[in-house]
C-alpha cells in the first residue's frame, strides 16, 4: 500500500513540474529588426539528441556544376528563390546549404558583410513582439527552445542574421521575418568557416 502511495505521489509531482515548465516554440515574428541586446555571457548547452538534418549540405547539390559562379572567393551568396546559401572559401572550396528565407514582403536583397558572430546566443524579443505575444519572456537563454539555435552570424550592422533554428521543418520555406535559418549542423560548420568581413550577397 505504501508503495502505491509513493508511486502516485511521485506521478503527481512530475505532472505538476511539467505543467510549470515553459517551452517557447517557433514564433512567427521573432527576428523582426531591432531591440536586441547580446551583452551577457553565453553558456553552452549539450547537443540535442537525434538531431540529424536532412539533406546534409554535401548531398544537397551533389553536382558541383550546379553551384553558381560568384564574383570572388570568400563570399557568401544567398539565392532566396532556391532557398540556398552558397559559400566559396578563400581557397576556392564551395559549399551549399538549404535555408529558410523571409516571408513575402520581409525579404531583403543586396550586398553586405558579416559584422560579428555569437555562439549560443540569447534571444531577446522586442517590445512589439511581446505585445503581440504576451507569453514571450524577456530573455530566452541558450537551449533547445531558443529560436536562434546554437550559432548566430550577424549581417548589416546586426539587422540581419544567419542563424540556427528550433524549427528545422521550416528549412526550405519562406518562414522568417528576414533572417536566414539553417540546420544546426550546417550553421555550426558555416560559423567556423566565415569570419567578420566576409562579403554576403543576397539575390532573388
- Tell me which residues are annotated as active site: 163, 179
Alpha-carbon distance values, 22 to 38, 47, 113, 144 (Å): 22, 19, 36, 12
In whole angstroms, what is the distance from residue 2 CA to residue 10 CA?
A: 12
DSSP percent split of the chain into helix, strand, coil, nearest 5: 25, 25, 50
DSSP 140: B
**Is residue 123 exposed (0-12), middle (13-18) or buried (19+ Cβ within 10 Å)?**
buried
DSSP 31: T
Quote the Cα angle for 94-64-202, to 5°: 55
Amino acid at each position: 500500500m505504501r508503495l502505491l502511495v509513493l508511486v502516485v505521489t511521485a506521478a503527481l509531482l512530475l505532472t505538476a513540474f511539467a505543467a510549470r515548465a515553459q517551452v517557447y516554440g517557433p514564433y512567427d515574428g521573432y527576428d523582426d529588426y531591432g531591440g536586441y541586446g547580446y551583452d551577457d555571457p553565453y553558456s553552452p548547452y549539450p547537443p540535442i539528441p537525434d538531431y540529424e538534418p536532412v539533406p546534409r549540405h554535401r548531398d544537397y547539390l551533389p553536382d558541383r556544376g550546379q553551384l553558381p559562379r560568384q564574383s570572388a572567393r570568400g563570399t557568401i551568396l544567398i539565392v532566396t528563390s532556391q532557398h540556398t546559401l552558397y559559400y566559396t572559401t578563400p581557397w576556392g572550396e564551395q559549399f551549399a546549404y538549404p535555408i529558410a528565407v523571409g516571408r513575402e514582403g520581409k525579404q531583403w536583397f543586396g550586398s553586405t558583410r558579416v559584422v560579428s558572430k555569437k555562439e549560443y546566443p540569447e534571444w531577446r524579443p522586442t517590445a512589439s513582439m511581446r505585445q503581440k505575444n504576451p507569453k514571450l519572456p524577456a530573455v530566452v537563454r541558450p537551449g533547445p527552445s531558443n529560436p536562434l539555435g546554437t550559432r548566430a552570424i550577424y549581417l548589416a550592422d546586426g539587422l540581419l542574421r544567419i542563424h540556427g533554428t528550433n524549427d528545422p521543418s521550416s528549412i526550405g520555406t519562406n518562414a522568417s521575418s528576414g533572417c536566414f535559418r539553417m540546420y544546426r549542423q550546417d550553421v555550426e560548420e558555416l560559423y567556423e568557416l566565415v569570419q567578420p568581413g566576409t562579403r554576403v550577397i543576397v539575390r532573388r
